[in-house]
Structure formats: structure tokens, C-alpha cells
Chains A and B, each alone.
Chain A
Amino acid sequence: MTKESILIIDDEETIRDGCRQTLQKSGYDVFTAAGGSEGIKMAREIKPFLVFVDLKMPGISGTEVIDILSNDIPDIVLVVITGYASIVSAVESMKKGVYDYLPKPFTPDQLRAVTKRGLEHRNLKIEARRLKEEKESMEKNFITFVSHEMRSPLVTIQQYIEALRSVMGAQLSKDVLDIIERCNKRIQNLQDLVEHWLDVSRIENGTFLKDKKPIGLGSIINKSVEELGPLCERRGLSIRYDVSDNLPDIMGDKESILRVFVNIIGNATKYTPSGGEISVSTEYDDYYVSVNVSDTGIGIPQEHLPFIFESFYRVKGKQERQKGSGLGLTFCKRIMDAYGGKIDVSSKEGKGTTFTLRFPR
């Protein structure tokens, strides 16, 4: 194991020599510097574990030395040496992240005690950082692991079903083919659930919204309408949108907002009977940009409205065209929260539902 290295920066020769003797006897690697600039140079080279800095020196001040060292050398622990008269500045420097101070005159025992504590502090600091990094990497890997381990069996089952249909399809009766198709649908639902759950986990661990840029909601609305166009057509719904001129940009990332829009508009297609209409409109004021998604669907009973953003909440007895994952609106709400925005809903049974997404400008 490499010896623990300690640097003493002090303009008084007696202090340097005294410290050197005491600390060398305790088994440390000791370096000394007579001034701030020399000390900084030396510290950059040897990267000491612990540095004692005299606060009052001619030339570059102790405070400046502290600033530079704490910035340049990772995990360094700094202790200031100070006369009784400058206790105040010692306290000031502790606010800057200095670990401790040693008032002059001090005894070898005091020096050893501070040194020991300082080095322990360094180890704890390093350990804490390591644990934090480990925790973060575990969280990240967990998502990666789950996405692979949960998706691949589903993909494989679907491939088997596909093989079954392709090899045997012609010989199977309609009843059997129906069963196979139902299996396929259920697996698809499970896959959607995994995707949504991953999305929600990604919000929690901060993968979404990592880099925010100014973006125009108009183009995203455009894209989501384009994406859902074929589905609307299949379900006999018309969709129209009306984006205000000069709609101000908001800060965010396109993908997350696109997913919110696709979710909300996708919901509208599920609960709107054929022949109905979905409309998307925008408005803005000095503080907010809002997007409204309205449908002429079956609506949501008042008593259910407060709960629909909760995970796996379902409005019983509602005729859905397609069972959802139960996490779609949870995802939307979390994303809107992450934007510092808001998602609201108003609905009239039998008339339709409007979702309003409000983004801060």
C-alpha cells in the first residue's frame, strides 16, 4: 500500500520542520512548501491526501491556496493552520469546505490527532462517493436488465406464435387460430406494460428530460397526429388540429412530449365511438403554453376524474376498444410534473373529454 502523503504549506520553517518530524515518525510521507505558489505546484504533482495550509503567508494567501487545491485535486482534505488572532478567517475557510483548523501553537499530539481524523474523513468521503456511484449504476443497470430480460421472452413467444401460424396455419381450424391470435394480443399487452413501466422508471431515474432545448409544440403535435392518423382512420374517427400562429417555444425534449401527446390522443381514439372527432388546439399567455386534446367520446364519470392519473386505475364498466397498460396517464402526469407543467381533465359523460397540458414558457 502506498503511504499516505501529507503536504505542509507554511512560511515558518520551525513549523514545517516540527510537523515533518512528528508526521514522519507516525509513518506518513511528508512534503513541505514554504509558500502558496510552491505548495500548489507541489500538490498538483504529488496529489497529497491531506494538506495543512497556513492562512497567513506572504504572497498568495492561504484562502486562495485552499480554493485552488480543493478545486484541482480530487478527494483532498484541507486543514488550515492559524494563529489565535485569525480564528474568524479559519471559520470562514471551513465554510469553503476546509475540513478542520489547527490553532498555533499546537502540540505533536494535536497534530497527530487532526491528521488521523482528516485521513479518516477522506476515506469516508471516498467510500460515500463510491457507494453513491454504485447505487446509481445499479439503478441504471436494473432498467437495462429488465428491458432485456423481460422483453426477450415475450419476443421469443411471439416468434413461436408466428412460426406456428406460418407452418401450421393452413391446417388449423378458425377456433384454434382465434386462440393463437388471443395469445398474441395478451402478449402484446404485456409488452406495452413493460414499455410503459420502463418509461415511468426512466422518468424516476432522470433519463428523460436530460437535455432540454427550445422546441416548438406545433411540429410535435403535427408528428403525433401523423403517427395516429392511420389508427383514427381505421376506427372511423376524424382528427383535426389547430396550432396558434407564433406559438412560443418551450424548453424540453421532443421525445418525451411526443410520447405524452401520442398517449393522450391514443386514449381519445380508444374511447370515442366511430364517427366521432378528436381535436387538438393550442393557446398561450405570458407564462404558459397549453395544448388541449378534446374528443366526442363516451366521457369519464365525475367521481372517477380525480383518480385517473393513478397507476392501474380503471373506470369500471367502460367500453374500451383495447385494454391499456394502466400506466399511460401516470406516465403523462409524471412527465408533465418533470416539466413543472400541469395536466388537467374535464369531461361530460356521453359528450366527451378534454385533456389540457400546460407547459411553463
Chain B
Amino acid sequence: MEKNKILLIDDDKDFLIATKLILENGGYEVFLAEDGKSGVEMSKAVSPDLIIIDMMMETWSEGFNVVSKIRTTESGKKLPLIMLSAVDLQGPYNSFEPPEEMPTVDMVLHKPIKAADLLKYVGQLLV
């Protein structure tokens, strides 16, 4: 059986490596992109089955830009997308506010994420 492909987009290289190990251990083929732009390009090139995007990269809302770009492509319309955030979305005191027309992601998860949780949620989205 062919492995499901997951694309990880995050500007923290170490975070990419760590998360890649977890996902590969869970039986996925993993592709990495270190910034939003190459992430969008790679999503066209490798046609992943799921993409995990960091919310805060070059700018505080780069993740959202990436999501909207992916969502406008034909293959990206229904692709499962996970947004990762180290910002506490619960608290009212973070200085970041999501843009009004926030493009939809399938799930928002917080960094750091437990290996078991990550694999569980990815598995749910790839059913």
C-alpha cells in the first residue's frame, strides 16, 4: 500500500525535523518546507494528502496566507489542513488576532503536540 503523503510547513527547522520523525514513525511519507512560499509550491509539486502549517512564520499571520493560497488551488480546495499554533488561542491577551475572513482549516492544534495526539488527529483526517 502506498504511504499517505504529509507536507509540513514551518519556519523552525528543528520543529520540522522533530515532527517529521513522529510522522514517519507513524507510517507517513513526509515532505518539508521552511517558509510559506516554498510550502505553497511544494503542495503543487508533491500533491500531499494532508498539510500541516505553522501559523506564525515570517509574519504573524503567514500561516493564514499559505492556507488561503492552498485553498484557491483546485487540489487544495478539500485537502485536509491542520494549523499549528504556539499562541494560546484561548487567552484574550495574545496580540495576534486572526484575520476576519479566516480561511478554513480542518483543525487547529497547539505546539508542542504529543506524538500520540498528532498521529490520532492526522489519522482521523485521512480516513
Q: Footprint of B on A, CB under 8 Å?
A: 140, 143-144, 148, 151-152, 155-156, 158-160, 162-163, 165-167, 202, 207-208, 255
B91 touching A148, Cβ below 8 Å: no
Provide the residues of chain A in CB contact with B14, threshold 8 Å: 156, 159-160
Among residues 3 to 36 in chain B, which have CB atoms less than 8 Å away from a CB atom of chain A? Answer: 12, 14-15, 17-19, 21-22, 25
Chain B: residues with Cβ within 8 Å of the partner, total of 21
With a CB–CB cut-off of 8 A, which chain A residues contact B86? 148, 151-152, 155
**Residue B112 at the A interface, CB < 8 A?**
yes
Residues in chain B within 8 A of chain A (CB atoms): 12, 14-15, 17-19, 21-22, 25, 56, 86, 91-93, 95, 111-116
Q: In the complex where A152-B12, A155-B15, A167-B22 touch, is A162 in contact with B112 (Cβ < 8 A)?
A: yes
A-B contacts, CB under 8 A, total: 57
The 8 Å CB contact of B111, one of A143, A144, A155, is A155
Most buried by B among A156, A159, A160, A167: A159
Given known A-B contacts A151-B86, A155-B15, A156-B15, A162 and B22 have beta carbons under 8 A apart:
yes
Contact call B12/A156, Cβ cutoff below 8 A: yes
Q: Is there an interface contact between A160 and B18, defined as CB atoms closer than 8 Å?
A: yes
- What CA separation (Å) do A253 and B20 show in the bound complex? 41
CB <8 Å contact, A166 and B93:
no
When distances are taken between beta carbons in the complex, the residues of chain B under 8 Å from A163 are 17-19, 21-22, 25, 115
In the assembled complex, the Cα of A202 lies from the Cα of B22 at a distance in Å of: 36
Is A162 in contact with B95, judged by CB distance below 8 angstroms?
no
What CA separation (Å) do A140 and B95 show in the bound complex?
9
Asked whether A166 lies within 8 Å of B21 as measured between CB atoms, the reply is: yes
**B contact residues around A143 at 8 Å (CB):** 95
> In the assembled complex, how far is the CB of residue A177 from the closest CB belonging to chain B, in whole angstroms?
14
16 new A-B contacts at CB < 8 Å, known A143-B95, A165-B115: A148-B86, A152-B12, A152-B86, A156-B14, A156-B15, A156-B112, A159-B112, A159-B113, A160-B14, A162-B18, A163-B17, A163-B21, A163-B25, A166-B21, A166-B25, A167-B21
**Complex Cα gap A160–B116 (Å):** 14
B26 CB, min distance to chain A CBs, angstroms = 8
Do B115 and A162 touch across chains, with their CB atoms under 8 A apart? yes
- Report the 3 A-B pairs with minimum CB-CB distance, sorted nearest first: A166-B115, A158-B112, A159-B18
Which residue in A159, A160, A207 is a CB contact (below 8 Å) of B93? Answer: A207
